[in-house]
């Protein structure tokens, strides 16, 4: 077998996050020679999914500063109560570091279909969105209110006063044509201001109804602009029912985006790319038109192009995440509400800004979003669930997430609280957002922190593909492949 | 005869060290072809499909090769998902190849459901006379230690080429719960269709 140093590689891809993996997929039918490495000993980079054991060792490597992605991760820790708590074996779990929902109309899905990679991924329906309502001074207990997901739903719900319903329906109809010239004129003055202002002034929505709309955008700071907000709601509404009744988004089974990255890398390997994990770049030297790399494995390789993650330091406030395994199936969250709808495996719960109090007694200014995953996601054994809580990183964020988890337990199951069997907490800093091609290297931006998959993530992949393919790039061929397998129509009888 | 799509589909993996003869075995079994010159890593084959009837019932086998990801041991956990059976292949003319099998068993067991059908194959049986380095007894003992079945085979001479495939399918269909326990989940969403829908699609206004 050839040694790695004998080849002049067309491209060395470093990292197996979604973008690098999709690049490998996009090049998998080309004749380019590809070496795909990752300093981590696992696939998926910032989108990885971990068994409990892997989660523990990842958290301690972040804490010790030895993880290769430590640039943007920090304050990672795991906790589990002492004694036999009902946890299954470590591999029965697959905890996603950065779970994201994918709208049915996302380009990611159409690219996975046209590239034939989708066959190896199982997609599950994302069901209801709920709002957490805190207890009131008048003795009302805290509760979860479901956001109506269909027109019939809007009419039949008792949670919204009739007058407000009219405003809501008017808004939803507006969104479906929001980019028409006439409607543009209505929202343009609000375009770069917060969506909530637009909802308030143009549709007379009260604060509560605004949170319904805001929750659908999963805006981390709750301050999404009117422009982005309308586009996200539009995406949500037009995604509803595309792959079946009653849901607008999907989630890849077994740990989300990580699964897509792995399947894309497999496609790369089938196309002839060579894969090495636990292998990073130690030294980069430019020699003529090529780049010489010394890998941490000791190998020296030559390549025409190097594609990797941007290693720029943190540029902004990131997110705090808490993944908690709970010992209850949380069944009420995962009901199919429309006839013929698949049983949802994911539910979304939002704690609107202002509904939680910090230890100092101040209202917490950002929303907390919770993705509840049933055991159908394959992320935990039957009878358990995984809750993923996310909020913007602040000095209070860890405490707020713990408090949200506690409140949620009380609301969902007031009689016997589902004990949390395992927790993984971490903070993920916001890295650079622009891709930077520079001669013989191409830097992908840092992984997105968004809770909804953002199609703009796909653009740098296309750019990198063009750079690798050079003059031979034919845009209409991008990510469009025939099936690989041939049907063997041979009967082979045996008794 | 039922159409292809309605046949129960079994996912079977072939794993083992580079050069053990996984692809040769697969190609001989599926296409009855053997290329004595081919020693390069497998490129361009994602999986092969073969129909097979065992005990009077037909199955659709999807047979997955390692696609070269065995070389630096970078098979992903997703590769193992939904597998009903794993064929672990080594080269009987290479002790080094055999010595890696313990780790391949560990990896297969760690990434699959409990009770999955495992089958150990000593490949390149045609080299038994000239350069055998692993005895059949050693192979059998390793298989026994992991509750796997075992045989030796040669893609070159066709000896025992069908046996591991037929036996592992037999083992899968006989193991209670394995057929339903692994494989794809019912209720998953087909993302290849679509096009309908919309929030207000039922609204005539």
Q: What is the 3-state secondary structure (H, E, C) of chain A?
A: CCCHHHCEECEEEECCCHHHHHHHHHCCCCCCCEEEECCCCCCCHHHCEECHHHHHHHHHHHHHCCCCCCCCEEEEEEECCCCCCCCCCHHHCCEECCCCEEECCCHHHHHHHHCCHHHHCCEEEEEEEEEEECCCCCCCCCEEEECCCCHHHHHHCCCCCHHHHHHHHHHHHHHHCCCCHHHHHHHHHHCCCEHHHHHHHHHCCCHHHHHHHHHHHCCCCCCCEHHHHHHHHHHHHHHCCCCCCCCCEEEECCCCHHHHHHHHHHHHHHCCCEEECCCCEEEEEEECCEEEEEECCCCEEEECCEEEECCCCCCEEEEEEEEEEECCCCHHHCCCCCCCCCCCCEEEEEECCCCCECCCCCECCCCEEEEEECHHHCCCCCCCEEEEEEEECCCCHHHHHHHHHHHHHHHHCCCCCCCEEEEEEEEEEECCCCCEEECCEEEECCCCCCCECCHHHHHHHHHHHHHHHHHHCCHHHCCCCCCCCCEECCCCEEC
Strand A385-392 to strand B117-123: parallel, antiparallel, or no bridges (unpaired)? unpaired
Positive or negative torsion for Cα B189, B192, B195, B196: negative
- pTM for the complete prediction? 0.94
The CA-based angle A398-A309-A102, given to 5 degrees, is 60
pLDDT, position B205:
36
For residue A237, what is the nearest residue in chain B, using CA coordinates? Answer: B199
pLDDT, position B113:
85
* Alpha carbons B148 and B35: distance in angstroms, whole number: 29
pLDDT tens for B131-149 read 999 999 999 999 999 999 9
Choose among B159, B43, B58: nearest CA to A268: B43
Widest distance between CA atoms in chain B: 82
Q: Which residues, at least 6 apart from A172, have a Cβ–Cβ distance to it below 8 Å?
A: A154, A237, B199, B200
pLDDT, position B183:
58
pLDDT, position A139:
78
Choose among B138, B158, B170: nearest CA to B12: B170
pLDDT, position B38:
64
DSSP for chain B reads: ---GGGSPEEEEEEE-STTSSHHHHHHHHHH----TT--SPP-S--EEEEEEEETTEEEEEEEE--TTTTTTT---HHHHTT-SEEEEEEETT-HHHHHTHHHHHHHHHHHS-TT-EEEEEEE-GGGHHHH--S-HHHHHHHHHHTT-EEEE--TTT-TTSSHHHHHHHHHHHHSTTHHHHSSPPTT-B--SS-----TTTT---
Q: Dig out the tokens for A430 from the structure.
A: 């916001």
Q: Are A136 and A355 in contact (CB under 8 A)?
A: no
- Quick one: average pLDDT of B103-120? 93
ipTM: 0.91
Choose among A210, A231, A230: nearest CA to A222: A210
Contact B187 A342 (CB under 8 A): yes
For residue B39, what is the nearest residue in chain A, using CA coordinates? Answer: A1
A116: left (phi over 0), alpha (psi -120 to 50) or beta: left
| Interface probe with B: pick from A488, A491, A495, most Cβ of B within 10 Å | A488
Choose among A49, A39, A24, A42: nearest CA to A71: A39
Mean pLDDT over each residue of chain B, to the nearest integer: 87
Contact B203 A493 (CB under 8 A): no
pLDDT, one tens digit for every residue, chain A (495 residues): 568 999 999 999 999 999 999 999 999 999 999 999 999 999 999 999 999 999 999 999 988 876 555 468 889 999 987 776 788 888 899 999 999 999 999 999 999 999 999 989 999 999 999 999 988 777 788 899 999 877 778 888 888 888 888 888 999 999 999 999 999 999 999 999 999 999 999 999 999 899 999 999 999 999 999 999 999 999 999 999 999 998 999 999 999 999 999 999 999 999 999 999 999 999 999 888 899 999 999 999 999 999 998 766 566 779 999 999 998 899 999 998 888 899 999 999 999 999 999 988 999 999 999 999 999 999 999 999 999 999 999 999 999 999 999 999 888 865 565 568 999 999 998 877 676 667 789 999 887 899 999 999 999 999 999 999 998 889 889 999 988 765 454 555 554
pLDDT, position A156:
84
From chain A, the residues in CB contact with B173 under 8 A are none
* Alpha carbons A361 and B128: distance in angstroms, whole number: 78
Contact A253 B110 (CB under 8 A): no
Exposed/middle/buried for residue B202 (C-beta within 10 Å: 0-12, 13-18, 19+): exposed
* Alpha carbons B193 and A144: distance in angstroms, whole number: 33
| Interface probe with A: pick from B5, B23, B191, most Cβ of A within 10 Å | B191
pLDDT, position B193:
74
Mean pLDDT over each residue of chain A, to the nearest integer: 90
Contact A272 B43 (CB under 8 A): yes
Contact B194 A486 (CB under 8 A): no
Percent of chain B with pLDDT over 70: 84
* Alpha carbons A476 and A489: distance in angstroms, whole number: 32
Contact B189 A484 (CB under 8 A): no
Local confidence band at B204 (pLDDT 50, 70, 90 cut-offs): very low
Question: Does B202 score more than 50 pLDDT?
Answer: no
From chain A, the residues in CB contact with B67 under 8 A are 266, 269-270
A120 CA: distance to closest CA in chain B (Å)? 8
pLDDT, position A478:
96
Choose among A260, A222, A234: nearest CA to A103: A234
| Interface probe with B: pick from A112, A494, A495, most Cβ of B within 10 Å | A494
* Alpha carbons A20 and A461: distance in angstroms, whole number: 7
pLDDT tens for A325-382 read 998 899 999 998 888 899 999 999 999 999 999 988 999 999 999 999 999 999 999 9
Choose among A475, A480, A462: nearest CA to A114: A480
* Alpha carbons B126 and A412: distance in angstroms, whole number: 64
Q: Which residues, at least 6 apart from B42, have a Cβ–Cβ distance to it below 8 Å?
A: B22, B23, B65, B66, B67, B68
Number of C-alpha atoms within 13 angstroms, CB side, residue A477? 12
Beta bridge partners of B49: A487, B62
pLDDT, position A157:
84
Question: Does B28 score more than 80 pLDDT?
Answer: yes
Positive or negative torsion for Cα A45, A51, A55, A61: negative
pLDDT, position A67:
54
Contact A487 B55 (CB under 8 A): no
pLDDT, position A159:
82
pLDDT, position B184:
59
Rounded to the nearest 10°, the torsion over CA A288, A289, A290, A291 is 70
């Amino acid at each position: 077998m050839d040694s790695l140093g004998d080849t002049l590689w067309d491209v060395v891809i470093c990292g197996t996050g979604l973008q690098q993996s999709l690049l490998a997929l996009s090049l998998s039918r080309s004749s380019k020679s590809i070496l795909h490495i990752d300093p981590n000993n696992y696939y998926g980079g910032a989108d990885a999914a971990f068994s409990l054991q892997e989660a523990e060792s990842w958290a301690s490597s972040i804490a010790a500063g030895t993880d290769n992605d430590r640039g943007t991760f920090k304050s990672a820790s795991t906790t589990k109560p002492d004694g036999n708590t009902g946890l299954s074996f470590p591999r029965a779990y697959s905890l996603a570091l950065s779970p994201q929902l994918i709208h049915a109309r996302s380009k990611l899905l159409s690219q996975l279909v046209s590239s034939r990679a989708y066959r190896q991924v199982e997609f599950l329906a994302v069901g209801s969105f709920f709002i957490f309502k805190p207890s009131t001074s008048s003795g009302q207990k805290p509760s979860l209110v479901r956001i109506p997901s269909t027109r019939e739903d809007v009419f039949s719900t008792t949670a919204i006063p009739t007058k407000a319903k009219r405003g809501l329906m008017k808004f939803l109809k507006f969104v479906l044509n929001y980019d028409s010239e006439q409607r543009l004129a209505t929202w343009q003055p609000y375009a770069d201001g917060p969506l909530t202002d637009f909802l308030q002034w143009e549709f007379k929505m009260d604060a509560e109804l605004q949170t319904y709309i805001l929750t659908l955008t999963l805006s981390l700071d709750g301050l999404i602009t009117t422009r982005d907000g309308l586009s996200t709601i539009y995406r949500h509404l037009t995604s509803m029912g595309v792959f079946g009744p009653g849901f607008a988004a999907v989630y890849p089974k077994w740990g989300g985006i990580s699964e897509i990255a792995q399947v894309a890398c497999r496609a790369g390997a089938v196309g002839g790319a060579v894969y090495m994990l636990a292998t990073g770049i130690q030294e980069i030297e430019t020699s003529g038109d090529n780049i010489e790399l010394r890998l941490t494995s000791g190998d020296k390789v030559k390549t025409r192009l190097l594609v990797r993650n941007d290693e720029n330091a943190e540029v902004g406030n990131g997110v705090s995440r808490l993944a908690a395994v709970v010992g209850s199936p949380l069944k009420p969250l995962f009901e199919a509400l429309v006839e013929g709808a698949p049983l949802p495996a994911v539910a979304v719960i939002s704690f609107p800004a202002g509904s939680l109090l910090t230890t100092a007694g101040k209202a917490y200014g950002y929303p907390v979003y919770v993705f509840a995953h049933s055991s159908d996601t394959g992320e935990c054994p039957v009878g358990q669930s995984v809750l993923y809580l996310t909020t913007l990183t602040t000095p209070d964020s860890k405490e707020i997430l713990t408090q949200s988890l506690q409140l949620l337990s009380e609301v969902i199951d007031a009689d016997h609280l589902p004990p949390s069997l395992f927790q993984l907490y971490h903070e993920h800093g916001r890295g650079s957002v622009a891709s930077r091609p520079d001669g013989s290297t191409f830097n992908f931006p840092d992984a997105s922190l968004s809770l909804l998959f953002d199609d703009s993530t796909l653009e740098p992949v296309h750019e990198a593909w063009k750079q690798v393919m050079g003059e031979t790039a034919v845009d209409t061929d991008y990510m469009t492949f025939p099936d690989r397998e041939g049907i063997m129509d041979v009967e082979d009888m045996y008794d | 005869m039922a159409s292809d799509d309605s046949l129960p589909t079994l996912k079977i993996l072939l794993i083992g060290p580079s050069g053990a003869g996984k692809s040769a075995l697969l190609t001989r079994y599926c296409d009855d072809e053997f290329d004595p010159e081919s020693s390069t890593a497998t490129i361009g084959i994602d999986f092969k499909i073969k129909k097979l009837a065992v005990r009077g019932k037909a199955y659709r086998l999807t047979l997955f090769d390692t696609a070269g990801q065995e070389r630096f041991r970078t098979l992903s956990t997703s590769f193992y998902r939904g597998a009903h059976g794993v064929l672990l292949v080594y080269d009987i003319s290479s002790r080094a190849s055999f010595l890696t099998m313990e780790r391949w068993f560990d990896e297969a067991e760690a990434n699959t459901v409990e009770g999955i059908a495992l089958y150990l194959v000593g490949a390149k049986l045609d080299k038994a006379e000239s350069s055998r380095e692993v005895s059949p007894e050693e192979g059998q003992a390793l298989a026994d230690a992991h509750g796997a079945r075992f045989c030796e085979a040669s893609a070159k001479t066709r000896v025992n080429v069908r046996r591991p495939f037929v036996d592992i399918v037999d083992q899968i269909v006989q193991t209670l719960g394995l057929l339903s326990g692994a494989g794809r989940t019912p209720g998953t969403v087909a993302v290849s269709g679509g096009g309908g829908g919309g929030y207000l699609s039922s609204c005539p206004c």
